[in-house]
Amino acid sequence: MKRRKSRPVQLGGVTVGGDAPVSVQSMTNTDTRDAAATIAQIRRLVQAGCEIVRVAVPDREAARALSEIKKNITIPLVADIHFDYRLALAAIEAGVDGLRINPGNIGGRDKVAEVVKAAGRKKIPIRIGVNAGSLEKDLAGDGEITPEAMVESALRHIAILEDLNFFDIKISLKASDVPLMINAYRLLAGKVDYPLHVGVTEAGTVLRGSIKSAVGIGILLWEGIGDTIRVSLTGDPIQEVRAAYEILRALGLRRRGVEIISCPTCGRTQIDLINIACAVEDRLAGLDMPLRVAVMGCVVNGPGEARHADVGIAGGKGEGLIFRKGRVIRKVPEALLVEELVKEIDDLVNGRNRDEGF
């Protein structure tokens, strides 16, 4: 795939756009006013691989918490602002790395100019976030939202910032309708060279939302469109980060953590593969070294798939074979498969660390 060319934007220590890898971000669902809870959640997100985090800033108390949050995290912090330009100014003063605003809804031109001047002084990028559910009245028409209307909204907001000589911009065009979102991004991608934040908004619960996001985000990334992504899910934001990396991994764009290859089971399966695969996934969730682990239920496809994995198992009747780089290591009872597989992975990881001088 050929990546769309976009101008790079610096968000703290993370480059978005240009030749930088597609970055993964999420948003906290804690009360931002509770700095301790928000910091704790961000740290868990970082462990999962989150590279940019956004927090809601609904009022002055939330804005006051931003400096404490910023001091205690290691990834760029983006403040999500609506309606009140003073919250954007407070967030900038608190040291955030980025803003998410709609220039058209935070006040008149003079108010926008104040925000832009403050952001420019501290080199803080602004993401223009267009959402199909909150378009301007003249663009929403009779309620049927079109890709053209979403793009027109984005271009209006872009023009406001450009007229103020501000170009440190990222853009998102989110919708819960996947075809609408895809077509809007496609249309905008040919009109501007700003980096694009891609996602399906209000995608749903973990299963449904991950599927909708994989389709929408995946199609665009395959077409070279997208510089940073968020998988929006109703649930623990940790799942957003995991889903994002699975999308990127499936497209060959990023490889982080363990890739588990497991078969869907069938009548030949003679071990409790479903629970074994889930247990392996849980045990390896915190390992960020890129490894391919095969968990296969029988000898038909098992040895072949395990041969292409760093380590894996292939089940038999009440037992399984442990493979490593395609070589059978040993046969173990079903009850010990998970533990023995994890031990083999520990040995592999520790050996790789030694070999690479870690």
Q: Are residues 44 and 172 in the same domain?
A: yes
This prediction has a pTM of 0.87
Q: Are residues 316 and 172 in the same domain?
A: no
pLDDT for residue 262 is more than 80: yes
Count how many domains the chain has. Answer: 2
pLDDT band at 352 (very low <50, low <70, confident <90, very high): low
pLDDT band at 356 (very low <50, low <70, confident <90, very high): very low
Dig out the tokens for 73 from the structure: 């995290």
Dig out the tokens for 70 from the structure: 């910023």
pLDDT band at 138 (very low <50, low <70, confident <90, very high): confident
Domain boundary among 217, 250, 283: 250
2 domain-assigned: no
348 domain-assigned: yes
What is the structure's pLDDT at 97?
A: 97
d(CA 265, CA 258): 21
143 domain-assigned: yes
Q: Are residues 42 and 22 in the same domain?
A: yes
- List strand residue ranges (DSSP E) for 28-97, in order: 52-56, 77-80
Domain boundary among 205, 231, 250: 250
91 domain-assigned: yes
3 domain-assigned: no
In whole numbers, what is the pLDDT of the chain averaged over residues?
89
CATH number of the domain within which 280 lies: 3.30.413.10
Residue range of the domain that includes 161:
9-250
358 domain-assigned: no
Task: Tell which residue, 84, 90, 102, 78, has the closest CA to residue 171.
Answer: 102
Q: Are residues 212 and 103 in the same domain?
A: yes
Domain boundary among 209, 230, 250: 250
Amino acid residing at 13: G
How far lies 327's CA from each of 297, 303, 331, 333, in Å?
17, 9, 12, 18
45 domain-assigned: yes
Amino acid residing at 219: I
Q: What does the pLDDT look like over 172-223, one tens digit per residue?
A: 998 899 999 999 999 999 999 999 999 998 888 999 999 999 999 999 999 9
Q: Are residues 131 and 169 in the same domain?
A: yes
357 domain-assigned: no
SS3 call for 320: strand
Residue 29 exposure: Cα atoms within 13 Å on the Cβ side: 9
Q: Are residues 202 and 303 in the same domain?
A: no
Q: Are residues 284 and 316 in the same domain?
A: yes
Q: Are residues 273 and 159 in the same domain?
A: no
Averaged pLDDT for residues 120-124: 94
For the chain, percent helix, then strand, then coil, each to nearest 5?
45, 20, 35
Bridge partners (DSSP) listed for residue 315: 320
Q: Are residues 198 and 292 in the same domain?
A: no
pLDDT band at 329 (very low <50, low <70, confident <90, very high): confident
How many Cβ atoms are within 10 Å of 350's Cβ, its own excluded?
A: 11
Q: Are residues 236 and 274 in the same domain?
A: no
DSSP state letter for 255:
-
d(CA 127, CA 309): 40
What is the structure's pLDDT at 300?
A: 67
pLDDT for residue 357 is more than 70: no
pLDDT for residue 8 is more than 90: yes
Q: Are residues 239 and 271 in the same domain?
A: no
Bridge partners (DSSP) listed for residue 196: 171
Q: Are residues 224 and 274 in the same domain?
A: no
